[in-house]
Amino acid sequence: MTKRVAILISGSGSNMVALAESMVGDHPARPVLVVSNLPGAGGLGRAEAMGIATAVVDHRRFAGDRAAFEAELARVLEAARPDILCLAGFMRILTPWFTARWAGRALNIHPSLLPKYRGLDTHARALAAGDSEAGCSVHEVTAELDGGPILGQARVPILPGDTPERLAARVLPMEHELYPAVLRRYAAGDRTPVFLP
């Protein structure tokens, strides 16, 4: 049975595009919905151009009431009957109520070599620490921010003169390779981690 995938975004949606473009042919899943918490997210137009249904649940409408925001987000998502949820550049922290609903069937991409540098500004922190490499991770979503089981990682070298922007530009293409590779296995029920390169 082909798995139905919903994707949560907040921004340009480049990871969403990489996921959606990978779900063709013998892939065990198909994208059914892209949801953004921001009406102006560039990824919405990209999803529509790919013929994927989109929706907006603007978190600002809920004036900080996380429970009300998440109840509406859950309602919109569940109307599409997804089997798997992929967070792709989604910048809202989800409560245990929401993560429990998706336990064992939700993934997130994070631009660091977890468990290092959970949260924001990951590349600047790796540079400030004098690390020799950086990267990205795909993990299962749990109540612990960026803390769920790691299902994939991709590494890149940190080079002399690197800035957070240059490092982000080196890591992002690896995200676009790693996330689809993990999703393909995950949708087939295979939790064997993917390591790149």
- Binding residues (CB under 6 A) for ligand GRF: these are 9, 11-16, 88-89, 109-111, 172, 175
Task: Tell whether residue 37 is among the known ligand binding residues.
Answer: no
3-state secondary structure of 130: coil
Q: Known catalytic residue: 110?
A: yes
CA dihedral over 29, 31, 35, 40, signed as positive or negative: positive
CB of residue 65 to ligand GRF, shortest distance in Å: 24
- Which amino acid is residue 82, in one-letter code? P
Q: Which is nearer to ligand GRF, 9 or 182 (CB)?
A: 9
Radius of gyration of the chain (CA): 16
- Which amino acid is residue 59, in one-letter code? H
Query: Taking CA 33 as the corner, what is the angle to CA 88 and CA 48, rounded to the nearest 5 degrees?
Result: 90
Q: Which is nearer to ligand GRF, 71 or 145 (CB)?
A: 145
Task: Tell whether residue 9 is among the known ligand binding residues.
Answer: no
Q: What are phi and psi of 97, to 5 degrees?
A: -60, -45
Q: Which is nearer to ligand GRF, 131 or 175 (CB)?
A: 175
- Which amino acid is residue 20, in one-letter code? A
Q: What are phi and psi of 38, to 5 degrees?
A: -130, 125
Task: Tell whether residue 22 is among the known ligand binding residues.
Answer: no
CB of residue 110 to ligand GRF, shortest distance in Å: 6
CB of residue 135 to ligand GRF, shortest distance in Å: 11
Strands 133-140 and 106-110: antiparallel
Catalytic residue among 27, 59, 110, 123: 110
Q: Which is nearer to ligand GRF, 65 or 149 (CB)?
A: 149
Task: Tell whether residue 91 is among the known ligand binding residues.
Answer: yes
Annotated binding site for (6R)-10-formyltetrahydrofolate, which residues? 66, 91-94, 108
Annotated binding site, which residues? 13-15, 66, 91-94, 108
Active site residues: 110
